[in-house]
Amino acid sequence: LVKKKGADTPEMLGFVEKDIDDILHLFKIFNEATHGAAGKYGFAKLQNIRQRVEGGIMFLAAIAL
């Protein structure tokens, strides 16, 4: 996707790869916190994780267009 946009510099590729890794890690944490033992994280923390994951997904969607 980054190559299609002409932005496939080593720095951008590294950033996107790290961003995807972070999103996958946070998605797992969010899923465990909402489907696992109750009370693992407070509402504010869950909201921050959700916003970060959503932001990352929106970034990927933006470079896909």
pLDDT by residue (tens digit) across 38-52? 667 788 888 898 898
Mean pLDDT of 11-19: 91
Tell whether pTM > 0.85.
Answer: no
Amino acid residing at 5: K
Largest CA distance in the chain: 45
Residue partners of 16: CB distance under 8 A and separation at least 6: 1, 2, 60, 63
| Structure confidence at residue 9 as a pLDDT band (50, 70, 90) | very high
Least confident of 6-15, 16-25, 26-35, 53-62: 26-35
Q: What is the pLDDT of residue 36?
A: 67
